[in-house]
Amino acid sequence: MAQSTLIDCSSTSLRCQQQQRRQAHNLASSSSRCQGYPILKVASKHTCDRRNITVSAIATVALPAQPLLQTGPPKAPTELEYDAVVIGSGIGGLTTATQLAAKGAKVVVLEKYVIPGGSAGHFHREGYTFDVGSSMMFGMGQEGTTNLITRALAAVGKSLETVPDPTQIHYHLPRSAAHPNGLEVKVWREYKEFVEELSQQFPHEREGIRKFYGECWAVFNALNSLELKSLEEPRYLLGEFAKHPLACLTLASYLPSNTGDVARKYIRDPELLSFIDIECYCWSTVLAEHTPMINAGMVFCDRHFGGINYPVGGVGRIGEELVAGLQEKGSHIEYKANVKQIIVEGEGESAKAVGVRLADGRVFRGKTVVSNATRWDTFERLLADKDMPEAEELFRKRYKKSPSFVSIHMGVRAEALPAGTQCHHIIVEDWARMEDPLGTLFVSIPTLLDPSLSPDGTHIVHIFSPDWIDNYKGLAPEEYERKKEAVADALVARVEAHLPGLAAATVFREVGTPRTHRRFLNREDGSYGPIPSRRPLGMLGMPFNRTAIKGLYCVGDSTFPGQGVNAVVFSGFGCAHRVLCDQGKQPIIPVLDQGYNAVLGAVRDRA
Ligand SMILES: NC(=O)c1ccc[n+]([C@@H]2O[C@H](COP(=O)([O-])OP(=O)(O)OC[C@H]3O[C@@H](n4cnc5c(N)ncnc54)[C@H](O)[C@@H]3O)[C@@H](O)[C@H]2O)c1
Ligand SMILES: CC(C)=CCC/C(C)=C/C=C/C(C)=C/C=C/C(C)=C/C=C/C=C(C)/C=C/C=C(C)/C=C/C=C(\C)CCC=C(C)C
């Protein structure tokens, strides 16, 4: 179906040429394989040099005349006034959209890219299905109320088969006097096994470990007993206080607290405190003293309660199923719909968001506009300067952009992985370099849980490490390509200390940088999300879903409770609930609502 295919490669060996042809074919045909994944221009890798690993191939595959994704569902009508126009199909945006559609609202989701899921999407190359970002899914358990992904899918009649991961993470940490060969810890799915393993490494801190993680359970058990909706809605909150007073008081008391403070109440050993730091850093990209305790309670306990579960077919299946559910409820998603402007009518107090304008000039009008773009993109790119609310200045003082990532998606021959290898690994060689760019290494091997993601006899190895976009700016194209490959070679060499033979067993490799994240996820500087710029008062400073502009809401990791796929699902539940209340589709108590939000605003302004 593609109109033309052009491959340019520096190597001329026969094997290389065959690889090129196969790759061109794969690139072209992958569009039909992956639910219509039209590739415009792809810098890709294939196996053709002497070490049997990668050489760059720049492939340009012309788009089919009719974009494949648009041949399925009809185009979203622009003449309708929607109940909600959602910018972006990240999991935060899709959760909001599906929650609203499940309650009968007419919603349109406008996605700039060609697949749903944003950072939690997936893409296909040469028989491999690669997760864009994290392969570690929380919130997919079957019990309690914190199984938020399971619940989001169920709201639109969907469910996904998952594979339970026996461990959350295998940590490979620096050498010390107490651990001369390095500190190795596995976070087992079974809580008691994990605590026992950690206590054996730090026998003098057995009690401290029990008390610290015990306090995390107090937070989690409270969360896991509540119905999770908008904290900006007092009628719901009062209801939960009446049904579960102790749980609500527990959570209220933890809202301002940070994990580092709680850890230091019980733990003295500096190496163990560093372990708590990496336990936080690996998902929050900040140390324990900057990580809200409520989030730590969620992450440190759901991994044992609901467990880490991998969705069969890849993480992108979550977004795909949410989209299917959305459409079955009569709402729409439009891909390649690049929102360039949020249309605001009126001035000052009466300013109201009434719709959006796309890069191609089309306008979608809605009673409500929900932005799943980052706060920086929403307020600095999609709104005119005059519409920037003062409240956003406060956010910019409190939070800054976290680094992005370098990501290496690899296909490797199975022999590179010894029996017993775990799915997720964290490698820190030097505690002092943990937060440096490229300091901490993340490794995920999702094919250990779902072998269908790669061709027989191979595995996927996804190596990623935090880095800043500034390190990739101003480079000529060849320089950029060279730098990418050099950085990737160095990261793979470091991972080889734990998985010897990885480089030699590599048969496919594609490297992304913060520039890739910025381009494909449309996230300012490719950032992973907001992080506190100073010691935060727990979660009190994090914005909820309403904004200072009437009719405009934000959802996703720029809103409470922050990064994490299950976290953005929570923000989606909260956002949809508040929108329904504001549209008069869910009951509120108006006086209480106004008074409560005024007080909440004042408290948070001072946080
Ligand atoms: N960024 C990363 O590197 C990364 C990696 C792994 C996990 N994560 C996690 O993924 C989650 C992010 O979820 P999320 O729901 O907040 O958002 P998201 O960034 O995953 O999705 C946002 C979506 O909005 C689209 N979009 C942005 N601006 C747009 C515009 N102007 N017009 C149309 N579409 C637009 C993007 O293409 C993207 O699909 C977070 O939990 C994060 O921690 C992020
Ligand atoms: C008054 C008021 C306001 C109040 C009152 C009280 C109350 C009631 C409260 C409540 C609260 C709530 C509900 C809250 C909630 C919260 C939540 C839900 C949270 C969540 C969270 C989550 C999270 C944070 C998650 C995260 C995760 C992540 C990030 C992940 C990541 C991953 C990665 C990166 C991967 C790694 C890898 C390797 C290792 C390889």
Query: What is d(CA 468, CA 525) in angstroms, rounded to the nearest whole number?
Result: 8
Residues flanking ligand 2, CB < 6 Å? 134, 136, 138, 169, 223, 226, 228, 231, 237, 240, 248, 251-252, 282-283, 294-295, 298-299, 424-426, 442-444, 561-564, 566-567, 570
Between strands 332-334 and 107-110, the pairing is parallel
Task: Average the pLDDT over 59-74 and give the result.
Answer: 41
For residue 128, give every residue at least 6 positions away whose Cβ sits within 8 Å of its Cβ, in sequence order, or none: 409, 411, 453, 454, 455, 458, 460, 508
Distance CA 283, CA 378 (A): 24
Shortest-distance Cα residue to atom 5 of ligand 2: 252
**Structure confidence by residue, pLDDT tens digits, 488-497:** 999 999 999 9
For atom 27 of ligand 1, the residue with the nearest CA is 373
DSSP type of residue 22: H
Q: How many CB atoms lie within 10 A of CB 596?
A: 17
Q: Please indicate whether residue 134, judged by its CB atom, sits closer than 6 Å to ligand 1.
A: yes
CA 140 to centroid of chain Cα atoms: 15
Does the beta carbon of 285 sit less than 6 angstroms from any atom of ligand 1? no
Cα–Cα distance for residue pair 318/238, rounded to 1 Å: 32
Backbone Cα Rg of the chain: 24
Tell me how many degrees the CA angle 460-461-465 measures, rounded to the nearest 5.
145
The rounded Å distance from CA 372 to ligand 1 centre is: 7
Average pLDDT over residues 228-237: 95
**What is the per-residue pLDDT across 139-171, written as a single tens digit (0 to 9) for each?**
999 999 999 999 999 999 999 999 999 999 999
What are all long-range contacts of 348-353, with beta carbons under 8 Å and residues at least 24 apart? 350/550, 351/387, 351/549, 351/550, 352/549, 352/550, 352/551, 353/549, 353/550, 353/551, 353/552
Give residue 218 CA to ligand 2 midpoint distance, Å: 14
Percent of the chain, pLDDT > 90? 80
Query: Which ligand is in closest contact with the Cα of 228?
Result: 2
Is the ipTM beyond the 0.95 threshold?
no
Residue 22 has pLDDT above 90, yes or no: no
Query: Given a cut of 60, is residue 518 above it in pLDDT?
Result: yes
Residue type, 149: I
By mean pLDDT, which of 22-31, 196-205, 450-459, 528-537 is the weakest? 22-31
Q: Tell me the C-alpha to C-alpha distance, in Å, between residue 605 and each of 176, 232, 537.
A: 43, 15, 11
CB neighbourhood size of 47 (10 A) = 20
The residue-averaged pLDDT of 552-577 equals 97
Over the stretch 169-197, which tens digit does the pLDDT of each residue have? 999 999 999 999 999 999 999 999 999 99
- What pLDDT is attached to residue 131? 98
Nearest ligand for residue 372 CA: 1
Percent of the chain past pLDDT 70, that is, above it, reads 88
Output the CA 259–ligand 2 centroid distance in Å.
13
The confidence score (pLDDT) of residue 72 equals: 57
Residue type, 104: G
pLDDT at 61 over 50: no
* Ligand 1 centre distance from Cα of residue 135 (Å): 15
> Which range in 20-24, 95-99, 344-348 is most confidently predicted, on average pLDDT?
95-99
CA distance 340 to 359: 5
Greater pLDDT, 526 or 385: 526
Model confidence at 60, pLDDT cuts 50, 70, 90, reads very low
Kindly report, residue by residue over 496-509, the tens digit of the pLDDT: 999 999 999 999 99
Q: How does pLDDT run across 242-252, given as a tens digit for each residue?
A: 999 999 999 99
* Rounded to 5°, angle at Cα 78 from 350 and 320: 105
Q: Ligand 1 center to residue 89 CA distance, Å?
A: 8
Identify which of 169, 559, 118 has the alpha carbon closest to the alpha carbon of residue 315: 118
Query: Under 8 Å CB-to-CB from 249, ≥6 apart: which residues?
Result: none
Mean pLDDT of 385-412: 91
Question: Which of 298, 274, 525 lies closest to 400, judged by CA?
Answer: 525
Cβ–Cβ < 8 Å for 412, 459? yes
**pLDDT of 123 over the 60 cut:** yes
Mean pLDDT of the chain: 88
Is residue 68's pLDDT more than 50?
no
Task: Tell me the pLDDT band of 296, cut-offs 50, 70 and 90.
Answer: very high
Pairwise CA distance, residues 459 & 452, whole Å: 10
Does residue 360 or residue 348 have the better pLDDT?
360
Residue 517 near ligand 1, beta carbon < 6 Å: yes
If one counts every other C-beta atom within 10 angstroms of the C-beta of residue 475, the result is: 15
User: What is the length of the chain?
Assistant: 607
The answer to whether 285 and 466 are in contact (CB under 8 A) is yes
Q: What is the mean pLDDT of residues 311-317?
A: 98
DSSP 114: S
User: What per-residue confidence (pLDDT) applies to 25?
Assistant: 33
Which of 37-41, 83-87, 419-423 comes out lowest in average pLDDT? Answer: 37-41
pLDDT at 11 over 50: no
Mean pLDDT for the stretch of residues 538-563: 92
Q: Which residues contact 97 (CB under 8 A, 6 or more apart)?
A: 84, 86, 89, 107, 109, 322, 326, 331, 333, 370
Q: Which residue is it, tokens 């929570």?
A: 570
